Structure 1
Amino acid sequence: MTSPRPRAPMGTPRSPAPRRPDTGRSVAGRMLAVLGAFDASHRSLTLTALARRAGLPLATAHRLVATLTRWGALERDATGAYHVGLRLWEVAMLSPRGGGVREAALPFMEDLYEATHENVQLAVRDGLEVVYVELISGRSAVQVRTRVGSRWPLHATGVGLVLLAYGPPRLAEQVCARPLRRYTEMTIQDPHRLRAVLAEVRRTGIAVSERQITMEGLSIAAPVRGPGGEVVASLSVVVPAGEGVAPGLIPAVRVAAHGISRTLAA
């Protein structure tokens, strides 16, 4: 957006710029800066690189990294470099908007994959971005640049269009007020066109997004609703672009999304 920048593989990963040393932050703020130094293109960092990217003096970074490593938030490999630890994954899976929805969705995602043998994706909204919480793919499926944990702008993905269409009214205005980042010549960049697309998503209950992130993919997405009927996630299938929407594909996505919604309601 300045559309939020993606963390991808679907393009250029969002990479926080190294910060200037800041000794005025709280201890918690400094620890979060250390964790925030990691992203899709910086999965392994030396202590020096961690300190630089977090904007911390080396001695301060050393103390914080030691604490985070003892707790399990970071792990150190044989080369001395640090990685995000499994303890953080365990904590993240407790999030009802991530792990909880994912657990309810997986059986239906597996059924949808068996029926299509295409990419099946589940995503939730975080601010002005969409975050992918699960992905099932096969060798013969069209190549996508998403991964679990990646973030992309709401306007440029099928799941994002669903979450934007069913989000608070002010959310669409926030997105339309910002430059809409372009990924291909097909990416929606006109706010008026985006509003029309969102109205169509609300009318049909389905988002069809073709060649928005890559020229190879077409996404069909449907809303997943929580116990109160609110849209809490979006489910999609990504198929090769240029072949149109195969008969039965939209009903299959709808049925799977409805099944997840029923499970969450129960």
Structure 2
Amino acid sequence: MFKTAFAALSALWLATAAGAEELKMAVTTSFANSGLAEVLLPEIQKDTGIEVQLLVVGTGQALKLGEAGDVDAVLVHAKAAEEAFVEAGNATHRREIMYNDFVVVGPAGDPAGAKAAGSASEAFALIEEAQAPFVSRGDDSGTHKAELKIWASAGIEPAGDWYKAVGQGMGAALNTAAGMDAYIFADRASWLNFDNKAGLDLLFQGDPALFNQYAYLPVNPEKHAHVKADAAKALEDWLVSDKAKGLIEGYQIGGQKLFHFNAEAM
């Protein structure tokens, strides 16, 4: 379970301040699971008058919601898919906001020896060689796309009884891994904010291939005239402000920083 994250977010979704403008934003489950939304959303509403309603899904589904015009903006973490989204005219632009990294988590005893690997692809190869249980999100999310990229770099197409694709978000996948004492590829923020760690431990980190960039994409009003382009622009301006930088850089769990601010100038 995550520390009251969804309870607090639900309260924010339901409590509409008088005169507040609502904006729908599709975000990844990893962003929601991190707990950062609980910090940012009240400040966004206080400073801009915008009540951000989050639709929490995987990156692939978030981009589909944007393509259909069901949201006003998207905050996701899969650069190639985001660039294709912009190229197709679904967003006016892509703006990088913050980043963290992915980690390899697994049984504290590390039966595959992943902790001693020299790279993320080597860690994955060791897990496959040992046929050690591995839980994949399997949901076309940004995390899933990044995981598949690591397997490809190792020259492996993961398959077999040892490889469990659950088709769920980060929290549910972590719960499954904890229950199975299995390896899993996760974003650092979700892992740090995850309560049910059971016998799991962070085993591998630090490879540049594990870099995890989040970007903001306003849905294109030329394609969907009903989207709230002005509110999306105001939210973007807030997300790249000094106020947002301080909140993002200052957000920690157990003394560890979960995100780094790197908003691009435009």
Q: Same fold (TM over 0.5)?
A: no
Larger Rg: 1
Q: Compare the two structures and name the one with the higher strand fraction.
A: 2
TM-score w.r.t. the length of structure 1 is: 0.29
